Amino acid sequence: MERTWARNKGAASEGDAYVANMMYIPHLFKTLSVYADKPNVPLSVYEITPDVTPERIASGNLPTANKLPISSSMTNRQMAELFINSLDDANKKTEMLAALNQNKLLSDTGEFVNTPKVIAAAGTMNNHTFTLGQATVTSDVEKGTFFASSLDGNELKDSERMLLIYKTDVAATNEQYVMQPSGQLKYYRGILPTLVKQQTAQLTLTTIKPAGGYKGYKLALNGTRLQEIPVTVNGQVLSVTLETDKGFAFELVYDALYATGFESGTANGWSVVSYWGVFLRGVGSKWLKSLLIQ
């Protein structure tokens, strides 16, 4: 990376050439930035092969044969194919190219987290459904982040309290990018208040607990419950829709009483009482007689 590309402050405009495609795709791969004092040499990307030592990387004098042929006319797909085909791992390359054929950009650096207690996905979501263990998540935001974590130390399938984060995008009021006649892209940072992009995501989770025992809530950033959200149940699978009209944070909680139907008056098979009858106290006695009519 030549010194004219390095700066200690932001600019109001950026060149429309290499930067547009370079801003997003390279961070999905294992990359290393090197700053070299080479005036008039454009931003370049090199493949790091086993023969390239750390000292040579630091010097900035990398083999010309390792340079990736990037041009400003390339599409995002062409950029992705170029990076993928430069990988040494044949299995990873096959997997990533197969995903690209489905319009999915699969990361080389782990933008998916799939553990028993925590799951996460970040990057291009765009209405694709991602399977993460016993959960699936579908998001209608183009690029976003989803995160779910157990808060009680149990696995998600057995957790009684879970935190969900669905982060879409934020922007200042009147923030915008405007293309200039010169080909530069001018950025207007806007003003307060900061706006949240309203989108929705769908989470399903297969649980070993009675799925009807879960309730969902929208949360403020300080953890205050703002609103209850519906939880749909199909056997052992619960489904919840996350809408960011009040923020990014959500909570799923379990209580065995919720699964009994006590709130609707049908707990453990009990029937609803129509009305209560009369109570009679016997004269001169200590017994109480009641009549319950169902």
Which is higher by pLDDT, 185 or 167? 167
Residue of 227, 223, 222 whose CA lies nearest to 245: 227
Structure tokens at 160: 């009684």
Mean pLDDT in the chain? 78
Structure tokens at 212: 């009807």
pLDDT of residue 263: 57
Of residues 284 and 195, which shows the higher confidence score?
Answer: 195
Q: Which of 115, 112, 122 is nearest to 159 (CA)?
A: 115
> Can you tell me whether residue 252 is helix, strand or coil?
strand
Q: Which helix (H) or strand (E) holds 116?
A: none
Q: Which helix (H) or strand (E) holds 218?
A: strand 214-219
Percentage with pLDDT > 90 across the chain: 31
How confident is the model at residue 118, as a pLDDT?
A: 94
Return the structure tokens found at 128. 């694709």
Backbone phi, then psi, for 115, in 5-degree steps? -125, 165
The predicted model gives 7-36 an average pLDDT of 51
* Distance separating alpha carbons of residues 127 and 200, to the nearest angstrom: 10
Residues in the chain: 294
Q: CB neighbours of 253 closer than 8 A, spacing ≥ 6?
A: 160, 161, 162, 214, 215, 216, 217
The strand ranges marked E within 117-175 are 118-124, 129-132, 135-139, 143-150, 161-167, 170-173
* Residue 288 in this model has a pLDDT that exceeds 80: no
Residues contacting residue 178 through CB under 8 Å, at least 6 positions apart: 185, 186, 188
Contact 115, 153 (CB under 8 A): no
The domains located in the chain, with CATH, are: 1-108 (no CATH), 111-264 (2.60.220)
Reply yes or no on whether the pLDDT at 280 is more than 80. Answer: no
Mean pLDDT of 224-243: 96
User: What pLDDT band is residue 70 in, cutting at 50, 70 and 90?
Assistant: confident
* Whether the predicted pLDDT of 237 surpasses 90: yes
The model's pTM is: 0.60
DSSP reduced 3-state for 142 = coil
DSSP 283: T
In whole angstroms, give the CA distance from residue 267 to residue 10: 62
Percent of the chain with pLDDT over 70: 71
Could you tell me the CA-to-CA distances from 12 to 1, 180, 193, 232 in Å, in that order?
A: 21, 12, 20, 47
Better-scored residue on pLDDT, 235 or 114: 235
pLDDT over 80 (residue 203): yes
**What is the Cα 285 distance to its own chain's centre?**
70
- State yes or no: pLDDT of 135 exceeds 80: yes
